[in-house]
Structure 1
């Protein structure tokens, strides 16, 4: 498989690139710096908000993967991130690609019927803007009917760690383990994302991975 990876130098993006290369996929990594996150990829510098440029880079690929993260503050952060995701969708369409996998956020996962994680008192205040931006982006993706997109929320805790090859897949509910924790290593999350990209098992859906 050949795919374009946006946000390729971030914590999650770089691990998706590494996992994909290990599986024999061809990855075109796009970031502002143009720095290759791992050996064995093609890397280029571009602004993901430039849909025309991203469409040019994506032409001839099988899929687009977005590991982009929100930037800015407050309402501006949310508006900018939705606009960025609109540009990604426009670029995917213009390139003639139907498959799009997006790294989402954990805040919109449900901890009880109708209750999102982001509104719980324990949710970190410093992550609120990022969580709401990802929630707004998910709402946008749910209006996209002409692409086979998958929005992949991480669990409440994700950090660099060990690749075990073990994880569970869920839908809109927050997954917790036997100890009540919602967690995964960035390596296992990346592996699960690449497996989802390969299988296209959950088109036009939000899913999550956790231990």
Structure 2
């Protein structure tokens, strides 16, 4: 379990999902550091210390992790047609670099890499939107990297329901394993489930999913 006031470093802290995780962590009294490529990022919130950095700078991530109990990575691949490989490569470099650190790594995954009832990845089903396919396949590769990670790495990945949109948390939520737990989830619900997991771990070295109840 986390201490009452943990040090949480969030990559992607001003993004759609990362900002709600950041807000939820602050509301629970944790010390939060938001990492951004920009010195003065948009969507800043009170109670967060903002610093510059990128996921691709492995040495800097490791340095920041030395002062953290948890590193949250909420950094999706691009959807503009450019390569998703840099995100995959960043995780591939971070996994061995963080394996010996006393830090938990929490990755925001994607629904496209979750499975249908017959075991097919959602991204490989006929109706999956092509615009999101590259990003979804990158999350599948990243998940495989974590599943093959050294035993010393304390990691968890949380994937959303197939539809995720900004919104307040619902009164309750549903969890699943490698299959979608439901059809939709708000970013507020996702953030609540993320902090519940971080405060009371139940899915160490595993991927799980969340949906609105």
Q: SS at 1:207's partner residue?
A: strand
| Structure 2 equivalent of residue 122 of structure 1 | 127
Residue 104, structure 1, aligned to residue 121, structure 2: no
For 2:209 and 2:134, the matched residues in 1 are separated by 20
Alpha-carbon distance, 1:57 to partner = 1.8
* Cα-to-partner distance string for 1:59-106 (whole Å, 9 max, x where unaligned): 1211111101113777942x3221111233345346x23311100011
Q: For 1:66 and 1:91, how far apart are their aligned partners in 2?
A: 15
Identify the residue that residue 169 of structure 1 maps to in structure 2.
Answer: 175
Distance between the aligned counterparts of 1:194 and 1:97, measured in 2?
Answer: 19
1:2-151 matches, within 5 Å, as 2-34=7-39, 35=41, 37-71=44-78, 76-77=83-84, 79-93=85-99, 96-144=101-149, 145-151=151-157
State the 1:48 CA deviation: 1.5
Could you say what secondary structure the match of 1:69 adopts?
A: coil
Alpha-carbon distance change, 147 to 165 in structure 1, aligned in 2, over 3 angstroms: farther
Distance 2:193 2:38 in 1: 26
Q: Residues 9-28 of structure 1: CA distance to partner in whole angstroms, max 9, x if unpaired? A: 11011110000000000111
| 3-state DSSP of counterpart to 2:71 | strand
CA RMSD of aligned residues (A): 1.8
User: Alignment length, in residue pairs?
Assistant: 204
The alpha carbon displacement at 1:199 in A equals: 1.1
How high is the TM-score relative to the length of structure 2? 0.89
TM-score (norm 1): 0.90
Distance 2:145 2:80 in 1: 20
Contact 2:166 2:186 in 1 (8 A): yes
In the alignment, the residues of structure 1 paired with residue 51 and residue 171 of structure 2 have an alpha-carbon distance, to the nearest angstrom, of: 30
Q: Do the aligned residues in 1 keep the contact of 2:160 with 2:180 (CA within 8 Å)?
A: no
- Cα distance change on mapping 1:74 and 1:97 into 2, 3 Å: farther
**1:173: Cα distance to partner?**
1.0
Structure 1 segments, 4+ long, off by >4 Å, are 72-75
